[in-house]
Chains A and B, each alone.
Chain A
Amino acid sequence: MFGLSNLCLLLVILLNFFTLGSSRLVACIRAVALQGALLALLPILLHGFSPHAVLLATIALLLKGIFIPWLLLRAMNEVRIRRDVEPLIGYVPTLILGALITAAAFIFADFLPLQPQHQGGLFIPTALATLSAGFLLLMTRRKAITQVLGYLMLENGIFVFGILLSEAMPLLVEAGVLLDLLVGIFVMGIVMNHINREFSSLNTERLSALKE
């Protein structure tokens, strides 16, 4: 079981890199969807087939792996954008930054006062790396849709951390958190559509009229 969960986590990190380095939006959305689906397996791999883990995995798979990516793909088709060209920082530098962040996450995790059962595992470094990769995506891309993907990735990182603490989060609360994510992405999708209609572009740098 432990080997499988480590494999999942490694794939999650690889998907971070894939998303950071790709300009094709469809590929990015699919990568984040796959990441979400992999994360949904983790509660079962870690805690076995308890009702809590199975239900959490099902909800996470449905929302993170299927429903939210579907919403994003639909939003993308409506605004007819395929690529996020000209990011603030080029793709290669972003990838290098991503690699540095991931390395830093692994080193940093060694210094954290972790519980013995989490020491040396991949959970905490993956959570930190995914979280920071999400932040990186959020900050370096100009298209609203990639920023939403960055936000999703950030949430994925937090989700990895949350799996370790499933006792603290009753299923009802966890479901509420995931549902909030879904509705949040839904509203963001609507706003994106309106941004596109109003500005004929999804470039968020056009959103700069409001300042002092």
Chain B
Amino acid sequence: MLTVLILFPLALALIAMVLPWYQGRSWLLPIAGAIHLGLVAILLMQPGSMAPTGSWLGLDALSRLVLLVTSPLYFGCAIYAVDYLGLRRDRGNRVIVPCLLVFLSTMTLAIVSRHLGVLWVGVETTTIASAPLIYYNRNRLSIEATWKYLLIGSVGIALAMLGLLFVAYAALGTGIPVSLQLDKLLTDGPLLARPWLHAGFVFLLVGFGTKMGLAPLHAWKPDAYGEAPGMVGALLAGGLTSVAFLAVLRAVQIMGAAGDLAMARHALLGLGLLSLLLAAVFMVRQPDIKRMLAYSSVEHMGILAIGIGIGGLATFGALLHLVNNALTKGCLFLSAGNIHRAFASKHLSEVRGAISALPVSGGLFLAGFLAVTGSPPFGPFLSEFTILRGIFGSGHYLVGAVFLALLAIIFIGFGATVLAVTQGEPVEPELHFKDRVLLVAPPLVFLLTVLVLGLYLPPPLRELLEQATALLEVKS
């Protein structure tokens, strides 16, 4: 079943490469998204379909959660893609469609892997598959963004490989079999040699943290998200970062099994606060709406890291925030893509009055901004509030105060740009583009889901989150 989930997008990618029909090729994306979503739904319905211990692929609560997030996000973006690619016939879709399908496959591989080597291969392949997506617009700026993304991403992920090898080395000479299989590492955790395990964790954090875009390893992020099409930005900011975060969580799990959870938490807390700080600095007076969203993504990766760094209730909040962040980023990037299309610019000096020009996209962008900055009644408010309760409840008052202050600065900085973009009258009355159903429906659905999650947390989801939280705690 899991193998099918990984392989069928590859088969569709092959079809996309030979299919001579433009519109048909675009439609392969939602077909793949729908099949994926259906299969994921079936997988999530069967409880305890845990693969035998020691296999390379399998599902646990964490991977179920990330699948639950990425699959609908991909489906929404795939529906958006059909109309988007229809508008961009000059650019062609011979490259982007197969790459998007391979991206889906490798993302799934990374999510369901139970072997750190397989996880690494999955994450590295997502880098390669997404580079052509960032390069879609084929101009000087997108080349620059792609080159930085490829080089920084590849070097970062190479360091993660070094981290993996260190973890494997920690098992040498201790009498336990040398393996990178996750279950084995988790059971043998206490026996691993400490110095190598710690070094391995640091390199894994640096490597996968680069993919996640945690500061100070986020250098590629504003460029890549700024130059990529909105749809690709949504997939990277909502999907790929979640997968990279899952990889970091795997490293945390191993540290937890070895009884060194405190060190892992301190490292994550430090990086998280730094990410929040850097995002706040660059978001104030940020004139480019897509780069603004990229820094917002850095911010939210920081929030996730802080949540895990505090532990307990905050971990629960962080995992809930993973869901909220992915869907809200989906809404924001897709609506920002529409605004970019209409005004042929993403710069504050040229984009004004988005609401009067594009009522739906502009409104969604404004509402998405409110959601992502944690305004009630949207989901991120609930998850950020839970993290905050965790922070104060565990007595980290200083962290809590800094967290709140930085969130406030980010709200103001982000708000200034978003309000300038959405309010007022358009500079040019004639626009190249009007709202279209297929281009506004996916972000609308994402936003509504986030709204519902803010008002009501379905019991199955709560249960899944609790199980996932338990995986990240010390088992005593």
Chain A interface residues (CB < 8 Å from chain B): 112-113, 115-116, 131, 138, 144, 147, 151, 154-155, 158, 161-162, 164-165, 167-170, 173-174, 176-177, 180, 183-184, 187-188, 191, 194-195, 198-199, 204, 207-210, 212
| A187-B128 contact in complex given A210-B144, A210-B222, C-beta closer than 8 Å | yes
Contact B120 A138 (CB under 8 A): no
Considering the complex, which residues of chain B in the window 125-151 have a beta carbon less than 8 Å from any beta carbon of chain A? 125, 127-128, 131-132, 135, 138-141, 143-148, 150-151
List residues of chain B with CB within 8 A of the CB of A209.
140-141, 144
Contact B148 A191 (CB under 8 A): no
Contact B121 A176 (CB under 8 A): yes
Q: Which of B177-185, B241-249, B325-333 touches A?
A: B177-185
| A191-B180 contact in complex given A154-B155, A173-B121, A210-B141, C-beta closer than 8 Å | no
Considering the complex, which residues of chain B in the window 143-199 have a beta carbon less than 8 Å from any beta carbon of chain A? 143-148, 150-151, 154-155, 158, 161-162, 164-165, 168-169, 171-173, 177-180, 193, 195-196
| A155-B140 contact in complex given A113-B195, A165-B178, A176-B121, C-beta closer than 8 Å | no
Q: Is B282 an interface residue (CB 8 A)?
A: yes
- Docked complex Cα distance between A112 and B115 (Å): 27
Contact B172 A115 (CB under 8 A): yes
Contact B145 A210 (CB under 8 A): yes
List residues of chain A with CB within 8 A of the CB of B226.
210
Q: Can you report 18 A-B residue pairs in the complex whose CB atoms are below 8 A from each other?
A: A161-B165, A165-B169, A165-B178, A168-B178, A169-B180, A173-B118, A173-B120, A176-B117, A183-B128, A187-B131, A187-B132, A188-B150, A198-B139, A204-B147, A207-B143, A208-B144, A209-B141, A212-B222
Contact A169 B132 (CB under 8 A): no
| A113-B196 contact in complex given A165-B165, A173-B118, A187-B131, C-beta closer than 8 Å | yes
Contact B223 A210 (CB under 8 A): yes
Q: Is B384 an interface residue (CB 8 A)?
A: no
Contact A184 B128 (CB under 8 A): yes
Chain B interfacial residues counted at CB < 8 A: 48
List residues of chain A with CB within 8 A of the CB of B196.
113
| A199-B162 contact in complex given A113-B196, A151-B155, C-beta closer than 8 Å | no
List residues of chain A with CB within 8 A of the CB of B145.
210
Contact A191 B193 (CB under 8 A): no
Q: Is B124 an interface residue (CB 8 A)?
A: yes
List residues of chain A with CB within 8 A of the CB of B227.
210
Contact A177 B121 (CB under 8 A): yes
- Docked complex Cα distance between A154 and B139 (Å): 30
List residues of chain A with CB within 8 A of the CB of B195.
112-113
- Docked complex Cα distance between A169 and B116 (Å): 9
Contact B141 A191 (CB under 8 A): no
| A167-B161 contact in complex given A184-B127, A194-B143, C-beta closer than 8 Å | no
Among B140, B148, B222: residue with most chain A CB under 10 A: B140
Contact A151 B154 (CB under 8 A): yes
Q: Return B35 CB to nearest CB of chain A, in Å.
A: 24
Which 10 pairs across A and B sit closest by C-beta, in order of nearness?
A168-B168, A173-B117, A176-B121, A207-B144, A167-B178, A210-B223, A115-B173, A180-B124, A165-B168, A168-B178
